[in-house]
Amino acid sequence: MKIKFVLFLVVAFFMAIGSVNAQDSLMIRKIYDEALVNGKCYSNLHDLCKNIGPRLSGSANAQKAVEWGKKLMDSYGFDRVFLQEVMVPHWVRGQKEQCIIINGKNRIPLAVTALGMAVATPAKGITADVIEVHSLKELDTLGEAGIKGKIVFFNRPFDPRFVETGRAYGTAGDQRFAGPAAAAKYGAVGALVRSLTEILDNYPHTGATLYKKDGVNIPAAAISTIAADQLSAMLKKGKPAVKIYFKQSCQTLPDVLSYNVIGELKGTGNPNKYITVGGHLDSWDLAEGANDDGTGVMQSLEVLRILKAMNYHPKNSIRAVFFMNEENGDKGGRKYAELAAKNKEEHLAAIETDEGGFTPRGFGFSGLSAASLQNVKLSWKPLLEPYGADRLIAGGGGTDIEPLKSAVPSIVIIGYLPDSQRYFDLHHSAKDVFENVNKRELELGSAAITALVYLIDQHGFQ
């Protein structure tokens, strides 16, 4: 009798699990139907890119984007829409940069763009010898004797062996982030950095560089990959001698008041427990910021729109956040975390979408134990597998949500993982325009993120 009773309980348990999975599967199918049939993220992205355009922090367009974003959220009738004040840097590029190879009687222009937060050259520009390096360690070997008075040319390409292109970006990125400051320490008068992309083209890719607070700041710019190969070949040839003429007029102005834009669906059971999904509203000034990160903010907004359109009433409060100033200061993410701690908000999870609007592959999780991640895989992978978004791995996050780790130690930080192969072809360059976003891929991504938010809201992390 006891054995039969135990068997009955086991059968009932697995029937209950099956019922839950069936309900979840049906709900996720409905989420995808709403995203693919009635989706708004592509048309909203068109408005952002074409009617506002580049949105560098502190600029007039960044403020227009804030006002546009709040108005759009208001139009959907979310339970709450509000702005968070945040002071942000105001860096301006100035006049078009110039970079010319002087090689005997030849004058060869190179495609160049100032790095974000870089300083200007003298008004007449700089003309100097060039020294090519492939790592920051080479600077220490060369020392002041080999570097002083020269322009340092950092020419380490992407490592093509990485399947995930973000890892190649990570291993090449120090030459842009830290290279100019390191070169200045040895008396360099300027720095040129190979664009952080594998593609060979004549579109230089900008991005922030970090100066030492008490150090000497030297002008720094990125050159295109074609220009980098051309300059490197001429330096290797050696004769006639190679010099560079380099001029830019960028400057940093006083900080400006800006805002994070936040929409919220209030939780019916746990209104002070939050699931945040976000991307960054600001972009670099070279293009429309379509994939970096217009797609991310529009997907985040779409999560709330989809759930509201389906008349879904979440257990926990769900927020979509348009973070300001990810590109050159991270002030929006830090402010959001600061206020979360101050207001004693309990954040269950934060999801960032900032790797482009490409085909969804899955999610990376930080803050879960190995056992909890295994449970997530067992429970949720079968639900996401039919949609190709079932790669659930350890390690994930994003610049804007990372500060929440210290503000809310129990939080699970999640990075949305789309296909990575094309992102750095466009990233931080003049090619990051609306026309390089695929509607279908963008909508599939918004559905995948919404499905994950739904699963977290229903089940939490076991």
Among candidate residues 124, 54, 88, 114, the one with its CA nearest the CA of residue 250: 114
Indicate if the pLDDT at residue 461 is higher than 80: yes
Q: What is the rounded distance in angstroms from the CA atom of residue 455 to the CA atom of residue 452?
A: 5
Mean pLDDT of the chain: 95
Residue 239 pLDDT: 81
- 379 in the Ramachandran plot: left (φ > 0), alpha (ψ -120 to 50) or beta? alpha
- Stronger pLDDT, 335 or 17, i.e. the higher one: 335
What are the residues facing 321 on neighbouring strands?
A: 262, 278
**Identity at 264, one-letter amino acid code:** E
Integer Cα distance of 339 and 345 in angstroms: 8
Q: What is the percentage of the chain residues whose pLDDT exceeds 70?
A: 95
Sign of CA dihedral 262, 264, 270, 275: negative
pLDDT recorded at residue 238: 83
pLDDT of residue 64: 98
| Mean pLDDT (whole number) for 255-270 | 98
pLDDT at 18: 55
Q: At residue 350, does pLDDT exceed 60? A: yes
pLDDT for 4 equals 57
Domains of the chain: 31-91+254-459 (3.40.630.10), 94-249 (3.50.30.30)
pLDDT at 1: 54
- Residues 215-230 have a mean pLDDT of 96
Verdict on whether the full-model pTM lies above 0.85: yes
The per-residue pLDDT for range 290-335, each reduced to its tens digit, is 999 999 999 999 999 999 999 999 999 999 999 999 999 999 999 9
**What is the pLDDT at residue 244?**
97
pLDDT confidence tier of residue 148, bands split at 50, 70 and 90: very high
Q: What is the per-residue pLDDT across 385-439, written as a single tens digit (0 to 9) for each?
A: 999 999 999 999 999 999 999 999 999 999 999 999 999 999 999 999 999 999 9
User: Residue 8: its pLDDT value, please?
Assistant: 46
Question: Which whole number is the average pLDDT over 30-59?
Answer: 98
pLDDT at 10 over 50: no
Question: 286 with 129: CB under 8 angstroms?
Answer: no
